[in-house]
Structure 1
Amino acid sequence: MNHSAKRHSPLQAALIGGAIATTATISVFGQAWTRCVHAALQDSPKALVDQVWQLVNREYVDGKFNQQDWQAIRQSLLSKEYTSNEQAYVEIRKALQRLEDPYTRFLDPKQFQALTSQTSGEVSGIGIRMEIDEKTKKLTVVEPIENSPAIKAGIKKGDQILAINGKSTQNMKVDEASSLIRGQVGTSLNLRLQRPGKNTFDVKLTRATIEIPTVNYTLKQDGGRRIGYIQLREFSSHAAEQMQRAIRELNRQKVDSYVLDLRGNPGGLLQASIEIARMWLDSGGIVKTVDRVGSSEETKANRTALTNQPLAVLVDGNSASASEILTGALKDNNRAVVVGSKTFGKALVQSVHELVDGSGLAVTIAHYYTPKGTDINKKGIVPDIELDLTTAQQRQLADNPNLIGTLSDPQYARAILALSNKNFAKPATPAQTSQTAKTSAPLSVRAEDLKF
């Protein structure tokens, strides 16, 4: 990682597709190389093909390229004639498949744009969350985002969106509505709304840059404790500052314990996971990365923790990548009790490059390990208290999201029980951490055995 740090911008990004998350860095190398390629190959599809090959050849974590003859692959790629970039995309993807690495992958311009929007933690729009109401089957505002044009225009939760710029939303999917609402900052948008008990009305809004909330938090009083419950959806570029605000506000409310919910969090930015880990840890290792030549870099806490109150972390099979870096750091340092299901198991770091035509490439450049040197790739992290939800319990929480983070949520309820146990209620010293590492073992509990 030391070598790549010299080549890459400090900006860090992620590719998130379902449960597959990528912890990555965005590179400025592609921009300089682009200028050379434009001159040499006159912006042909071959320029794109060779740029991809060069980046993989230079950075891929496996110097043997999965036992493939990477030089021969280049000759094959450049011997072909391409009449369009789309033809080049097909051949690029075929070449990358030979590495048998799902995280080293090509992104067409739309996919790359979606990536940059997601990792920035910002969108251009009016700031609302929407869904199709199950009863009315109409597009409905779930939540207007704080400090957004929607809030300033008086849009409220429960407002039904009947038309967007004159186009009816009847039978319109949420994704289609989102694409109509998003647009360039400063441009106008008209919505026709229906509010229960009122006539339809029109609202004109001006699109703005919206910071996407990735952290939700609240004070709860469960199990005789004042619980600061924090839910982190993903590790975007704004996640750390939002987490900092959450912890400070809950500290102000004098909570005596915390529950950090990483369930369903597919990961994101490596740097965000490090910064957030430092908010919980005063000392100890956070993560170690190793690149293709064996150079390693270890990141540690730096005595900037915002709280030392007892902490429980909730995880599941969709907690991946940056979520696992944070969980591994807190678990290995005995800073938190981890509750839930085994995590996804993704311990690879990618660099993300913009290519000559606005498409992108993610390349695996390093492997990471938890502070104790554990390789969790394809294995995941086993919680201290392993508790799998039954199918019925999963369905209940999916159908009633308001139950998540309550005593009707078995994994949250088990975390509250663990926090009441003095063995988990106090952060360990480094000496205790070392001793516990030799004796601790995961606990296994069935959700249906819990009674609250």
Structure 2
Amino acid sequence: MYKNNKDLTNKVLLVAATAVISFGISVLVFAGWLRVNPPGITFDNKSVSKTAVSKFNSVREILKSQYYENVDDNTLIEGAISGMAGAMGDRYTSYFSKDKWQMFQQDLTGSFVGIGVMVHTASDGLLTVMEVFEGSPAKAAGVLPGDKVVKVDGKDVSDEEEDTIIKMIKGKEGTEVQLAVLRPSESNLIELHITRRRIKEENINSRMLSDNIGYIRIIKFDSEIARYFKDNIDSLTQKGMRGLVIDVRDNPGGYYNQVVSIADMLLPKCTIVYTEDKDQKKEYKYSDAKQLNMPVIVLVNGNSASASEILAGAIKDNKRGTLVGTRTYGKGLVQASFNLEDGSGLKVTVQRYFTPSGVCIQGKGIDPDIEVLQDEKYRSTPVSNIPQEDDLQLSKALELAESELRR
């Protein structure tokens, strides 16, 4: 889950005392650094030992003199920056190169040039299609949920990292990418030629179920999702909606302010969520008195994370609705993003969040009010691939909504 932040513009100043001045110069004086930018960077001599400084300098010199290829100083600096973020031991605190930062920002905003699919790395290690967006080039080319990408433009990518494969699939608008996919129902690889274009992810969809029970699925909390949620609520209301099922299964989260806005539409005057930073400073988010006056059921599963859990926790703790499904993922941390001057970026965990009852669900998740397991054959199937008539969790949600309306 992410909060918007102003660009990171403050530079780190030279603060070392006399005892570590030689260290400060040796660490970052690469290839005449001081001739170009005299201020340099050092560390507080009270927090960094001379041994650590010496070791850093020794490793750099060994790499420069002994590595079998020429070593670029800028590459070493990039690695050191990435290492600083990694040293936090927090999977959500990361440094992104320029290219990867652009991909990350596009993923959050929901607009990018590509083929129009949502993917994840499955347990077999292969990049697997979870969603195919309506009206997308992928849809037109015949890509199906469950397809596994094994080649991109003739190159085997079965052992490549997820980010690397996604970058290969994306590209310039109007250009073509060739995919070879493994489809569980087919014995041979399927070759697909797809023309890239600008995609606006459809991260929300809705429909009317039986007995005028509305259904809204939020796939991801992108930067505009609250506006689209309200549009879908208004549309369903005009069609006579009497109860609402909100589906955040398989939803990995997204923007903090967007889920707060959505919760505000549903809840009476109450606490939605609060955050706490390392100094124990708390920030509360409240809803106003206006609320959606009808039964609300929220569908959750083990892939409902972060912003999804804020919504689920607010609904449950304020007794505004019923949670149905399985325990949520358990991500109770908030990240802030910082744009760096060369186009790269940093994502940093800055706060923990707490549900209205004061629980931080990090590593714990939220238990549903009513646990419902899917049929075993669908346990590892993306929600979008489960036929409605076989979706036991949705059936239970519909049953509960109808029961509440009969009271």
**Could you tell me the TM-score, scaled by structure 2's length?**
0.69
What amino acid does structure 2 have at the position aligned with 1:107? F
Q: Which amino acid aligns with 2:273?
A: V
Partner of 1:377: 362
Change (3 A) 1:205 1:332: same
Matches within 5 A, 1:172-321: 182-183=170-171, 188-189=174-175, 207-208=197-198, 210-221=199-210, 225-305=211-291, 307-321=292-306
Aligned AA for 1:287? V
Residue number among 106, 110, 113 corresponding to 2:102 in the alignment: 113
Matched, 1:88 2:77: yes
- In the alignment, what sits opposite 1:24? 2
Say which SS state the counterpart of residue 378 (structure 1) adopts.
Answer: coil
SS at match of 2:265: helix
Structure 1: which amino acid aligns with 2:3? T
CA 241–388 in structure 1, closer or farther in 2 if over 3 Å, else same: same
User: What is the rounded CA distance, in whole Å, between the counterparts of 1:267 and 1:101 in structure 2?
Assistant: 17
Q: What residue number does 1:401 align with?
A: 385
Please give the per-residue CA displacement for 1:51-87, whole angstroms capped at 9, x wherever unaligned. 9999xx9xxxxxxxxxxx9645995797564834433
Where does residue 90 of structure 2 map in the other structure? Answer: 101
Query: Cα–Cα, structure 1 residues 45 and 357, in superposed 2: closer, same or farther, change >3 Å?
Result: farther
Distance 1:90 1:180 in 2: 23
Query: Matched residues in 2 for 1:354 and 1:43: separation?
Result: 24
Partner of 2:344: 359
The AA in structure 1 aligned to 2:201 is I
CA shift for structure 1 position 402: 5.0
> What TM-score do the two structures reach when normalised by structure 1?
0.63
The CA RMSD measured in Å over matched residues stands at: 4.5
Corresponding letter in the other structure for 2:385: P
Work out the CA distance in 2 between the residues paired with 1:419 and 1:25. Answer: 34
Structure 1: 4+ residue segments shifted above 6 A:
40-47, 50-54, 168-178, 203-206
How far apart, CA to CA, are the structure 1 residues paired with 2:275 and 2:41? 24
SS in 2 for 1:389: coil
| Contact 1:143 1:157 survives alignment (8 Å) | no
Greater alpha carbon shift after TM alignment, 91-100 vs 234-243: 91-100
Deviation of 1:416 (Å): 1.7
* Correspondence for 2:113: 124
| Aligned equivalents of 1:368, 1:42: Cα separation in 2 | 41
Equivalenced residues, count: 346
1:337 equivalent among 322, 331, 341: 322
% of aligned pairs identical?
A: 28
Report if the CA contact (8 A) 2:7-2:340 is conserved: no
Amino acid across the alignment from 1:236: D
Cα distance between partner residues in 1 of 2:232 and 2:117: 21
| Aligned twin of 2:332 | 347
Query: Aligned partners of 1:119, 1:130: CA distance in 2, in Å?
Result: 13
Shift of 1:356: 4.1
The whole-number CA distance in structure 1 between the counterparts of 2:166 and 2:398 is 38
**Partner residue of 2:125?**
none
For residue 420 of structure 1, give the secondary structure of its aligned residue in structure 2: helix
Confirm or deny: 8 A CA contact 1:310 1:425 kept in the other structure.
no
